[in-house]
Structure 1
Amino acid sequence: MEFDQVQPRKNTYSIKWDGAAAVYHHKEVLPMWIADMDFQSPPAVVKAICEQAQRGIYGYVTEPQTTRVPQVIADWLQKQNDWQINRHFLGYSAGVVNGLSLAIRALTQEGDAIITQTPLYGHFQSAVESSKRRLVTNPLHQHNGRYEFDWQLFEQQIQTKQVKMAILCNPHNPTGRVWTIAELKQFAQICERHQVIILSDDIHSDLILPGYHYQPLAKVYPEYQDQIITFKSPSKTFNLAGLQFAYYYTTNKQYRQQMTQQAAYACDPDLPTAFALPAVIAAYEQSDEWLLDLLCYLKDNLQWMTAQIETTTAAKVTRSEATYLSWIDVSYLRVSEKALQTALADHGVGLQTNEDFGLSAKDGLFIRLNFATARKTLEEGVNRLIEALQSLEHK
């Protein structure tokens, strides 16, 4: 199986691998932190990029809307999500975070409050705070090991904090929850009651593990679709983050215009790289079977990893429904986050902990682990993690 092949990634300009030593202060650290996969992209994508490279000219790239990419995206969303969109309502950015930041700056004012759930994807916080907006954190709570919304608190915070915008992560990073249709509708209805704009980060929406089903918020609650902007990208699904391509969709013409104007004001056209457009076409048109095989491999990796960790330690691995990121509760250790980080680094495994996800000591102690790697590499990383946890158990 191609996913079982260990891919050498050191000295390849990879932030995950070549940047890990500086972050974790360990020359031989095994990086399982940043969210990209240690798998080659689909063969069709590699072929398309090679053909583009062989042309030998890497000049400025045409804007996506002038190519057939919008129709390719529309066809993909129809096929994957049974979601019929108008391709003329798409916008583009170099990445989902770029698009989110653009929407924040275009559609809110400095000092406005923006709410999102914790544990959060760290770039949500930086996107809000660097734009001089106020971040309101709405904690998810665990029920039978599954993360859920606290609806009463969510609406209360929107009212008392005068929230203008909400960022939804669907499916959720880092907990791996795939929100149900009922949950999505309730989220939208609360926002509708208080006229809160919704930014829905759906970057992991193609990485739904077997047995679960994702739905776009704007599709399941069309009554409020003019106040919803959905952000997607093939980057996580097909390991294309370095190609700098994402897109967003909203039926609100005014919002699209305001975002375009904001980008022009910032002199930030966000054009894709010379390889992005042919790669997107190859991914969405020719890589379905590869994606199905990937999801099966990820499911097997998660099951193996969960069994190993939970039979050798008291850690609890959240039952992820999507993504290739595992959320692990190690609160039983009763140690500080600093002590945990030190132990992990000493044992040569690079992982992210509480502070990267907007959590403090009162929330418990957590680790996020990227299991999108060859089983041999995963085994080594999990063994190092287990040894680090065991070294802390009696401290």
Structure 2
Amino acid sequence: MANFDQVNQRSNTYSMKWDGAKSTYHNPEVIPMWIADMDFQSPKPVIEAIKKQAAQGIYGYATEPAMTQAPQVIAQWLETRNQWQINPDYLGYSAGVVNGLGLAIRALTQEGDAIITQTPLYGHFKIAVENSRRKLISNPLKWHKGKASFDWEKFEQQIVTNHVKMAILCNPHNPTGRVWNTSELKQFAQICQRHHVIILSDDIHSDLILPGNTYHPLAQVYPEYQDQIITFKSPSKTFNLAGLQFAYYYTTNPDYQQQMQSAAAYASNPDLPTAFALPALIAAYQQSASWLEELLEYLAQNLKWLTTQIESQTPAQVTRSQATYLAWIDVSYLSCSEDELLKALDAGGVGVQTNREFGLDEKAGLFIRLNFATARSVLTTGVNRLIRVLQQLAAR
């Protein structure tokens, strides 16, 4: 049984989240609750698989995933977890989901093409689009009783007006934690189908579905358009393996596969996973399902606790997340700027992310994203610091 209450010391371990916080925040005592990785150890089978790989003592180039059992392991995982039957021959691989998204953008669109996604957005969508010299179209989500939903009329109008060539869907959505239902997914795909828009579906958080909710892959829900959909997944968020560099994508369109592979070759960078990623993936998907179920229960309890604490002591509203380990907190009641909020939180010892990281200006309100995938004792300290700062700002 996993011990998620264990406090793991991550400082001086080459951790971007903890060691990188020293160059991001001014307060040396800050608790970093920003970057989306967990403070939990990976499952024991994964740790043992990595130890075994390390013990052989030679760290050369890794075998291409297609030449290993990885494709069959992935296919079995998707069938078991999502009831989604895929052809493992149609899988492609990259070092990360963002790498794969960037590859698809460069391979399947031209410079200057418009690409649409919903805001608030995962910040690397913006980077991937703009660094490829494409035009980002921001489609704001609507809010009703603390729940995000699509603005269908605006979404379609923006596609038509801007001659959009590609749409990036985040399923489930980061940072709001929405798990899109089958009706929403079908409508999204149908609008894209009407206007011949390619869909990139970032499903990296699709195994982190909190109890009582159900994830559906878009290509499974709407097979009528599956040849125009590329789905991106990874074990990195689920099993805390981001540093091992492994992601995969799936499309039934052989032309897309060929174009993406050609683009990767042209870049003179195969962008393949490390030799540690493959045994870690296999151990995660074949031996760690029970660990994942325990994790999801712990995350759900963390979210429930922090929601109660924050909403009982401040006017802030915590979005009722259905997935991920990221709390999206509305603090628009504060009469301060985003910079003032960040400065106060830093001084108060809690490191989070706010509007600008998610493509929002202050006209949209004031929001905080907080990573709650940490031991309850650490979470308690961090949330108490957050509450104290919010109370001080409101009293000014």
**TM superposition score category, shorter chain reference:** over 0.9
The residue identity in structure 2 corresponding to 1:247 is Y
**Segment drifting more, 263-272 vs 283-292:** 263-272
The match for 2:198 is 197
Q: Contact (CA 8 Å) 1:6, 1:374: kept in 2 or not? A: yes
* Counterpart-to-counterpart distance in 2, 1:291 and 1:150: 33
The residue correspondences of 1:1-395 to structure 2 (distance < 5 A) are 2-395=3-396
The residue identity in structure 1 corresponding to 2:11 is K
The residue identity in structure 2 corresponding to 1:70 is P
Q: Contact (CA 8 Å) 2:40, 2:240: kept in 1 or not? A: yes
Q: Secondary structure at the match of 2:34?
A: coil
* Counterpart-to-counterpart distance in 2, 1:74 and 1:245: 15
Q: Secondary structure at the match of 1:3?
A: coil
* Counterpart-to-counterpart distance in 1, 2:186 and 2:335: 38
Q: Contact (CA 8 Å) 2:189, 2:222: kept in 1 or not? A: yes
* Counterpart-to-counterpart distance in 2, 1:274 and 1:177: 34
The residue identity in structure 2 corresponding to 1:91 is G
CA shift for structure 1 position 27: 1.1
* Counterpart-to-counterpart distance in 2, 1:257 and 1:80: 28
Q: Contact (CA 8 Å) 1:61, 1:274: kept in 2 or not? A: yes
The residue identity in structure 2 corresponding to 1:242 is G
> Can you list the C-alpha shifts for 1:317-345, whole angstroms capped at 9, x where unaligned?
00000000000000001210011001000
The residue identity in structure 1 corresponding to 2:56 is R
Q: Contact (CA 8 Å) 1:167, 1:198: kept in 2 or not? A: yes
CA shift for structure 1 position 147: 0.2
Q: Secondary structure at the match of 1:179?
A: coil
* Counterpart-to-counterpart distance in 2, 1:122 and 1:321: 20
Q: Contact (CA 8 Å) 1:94, 1:272: kept in 2 or not? A: yes
CA shift for structure 1 position 394: 2.5
> Can you list the C-alpha shifts for 1:72-111, whole angstroms capped at 9, x where unaligned?
0000000000000000000000000000000000000000
* Counterpart-to-counterpart distance in 2, 1:232 and 1:168: 13
The residue identity in structure 1 corresponding to 2:76 is D
* Counterpart-to-counterpart distance in 2, 1:215 and 1:77: 11
CA shift for structure 1 position 242: 0.3
* Counterpart-to-counterpart distance in 2, 1:333 and 1:124: 28
CA shift for structure 1 position 24: 1.1
Instruction: Could you tell me which runs of 5 or more consecutive residues in structure 2 were left unpaired when the two chains were aligned.
Output: none
Q: Contact (CA 8 Å) 2:116, 2:139: kept in 1 or not? A: yes
Q: Among all aligned residue pairs of Structure 1 and Structure 2, give the percentage whose two residues are the same amino acid.
A: 72
Instruction: Could you tell me which runs of 5 or more consecutive residues in structure 1 were left unpaired when the two chains were aligned.
Output: none
Return the TM-score normalized by structure 2.
0.99
Q: Contact (CA 8 Å) 2:321, 2:327: kept in 1 or not? A: yes
Q: Contact (CA 8 Å) 1:32, 1:369: kept in 2 or not? A: yes
* Counterpart-to-counterpart distance in 2, 1:86 and 1:36: 30
Q: Contact (CA 8 Å) 1:117, 1:168: kept in 2 or not? A: yes
CA shift for structure 1 position 272: 1.1
Q: Contact (CA 8 Å) 2:200, 2:231: kept in 1 or not? A: yes
CA RMSD of aligned residues (A): 0.5
Q: Secondary structure at the match of 1:327?
A: strand
Q: Contact (CA 8 Å) 2:327, 2:371: kept in 1 or not? A: yes
Return the TM-score normalized by structure 1.
1.00
The residue identity in structure 1 corresponding to 2:59 is Y
Q: Contact (CA 8 Å) 1:306, 1:317: kept in 2 or not? A: yes
* Counterpart-to-counterpart distance in 1, 2:395 and 2:332: 13
The residue identity in structure 2 corresponding to 1:350 is G
Q: Secondary structure at the match of 1:116?
A: strand
Q: Contact (CA 8 Å) 2:26, 2:347: kept in 1 or not? A: no
* Counterpart-to-counterpart distance in 1, 2:30 and 2:133: 36
**Segment drifting more, 266-275 vs 342-351:** 266-275
CA shift for structure 1 position 144: 1.5
Q: Secondary structure at the match of 2:206?
A: coil
> Can you list the C-alpha shifts for 1:353-395, whole angstroms capped at 9, x where unaligned?
0000000011000000000000000001001101111110033
Q: Contact (CA 8 Å) 1:203, 1:236: kept in 2 or not? A: yes
> Can you list the C-alpha shifts for 1:199-240, whole angstroms capped at 9, x where unaligned?
000000000000000000000000000000000000000000
Q: Secondary structure at the match of 2:392?
A: helix
Runs of 4 or more off by more than 6 Å in structure 1? none
The residue identity in structure 1 corresponding to 2:269 is D
> Can you list the C-alpha shifts for 1:219-266, whole angstroms capped at 9, x where unaligned?
000000000000000000000000000000000000000000000000
* Counterpart-to-counterpart distance in 2, 1:276 and 1:305: 33
* Counterpart-to-counterpart distance in 1, 2:212 and 2:10: 32
CA shift for structure 1 position 174: 0.1
Q: Secondary structure at the match of 1:11?
A: coil
Q: Contact (CA 8 Å) 1:21, 1:28: kept in 2 or not? A: no
CA shift for structure 1 position 28: 1.3
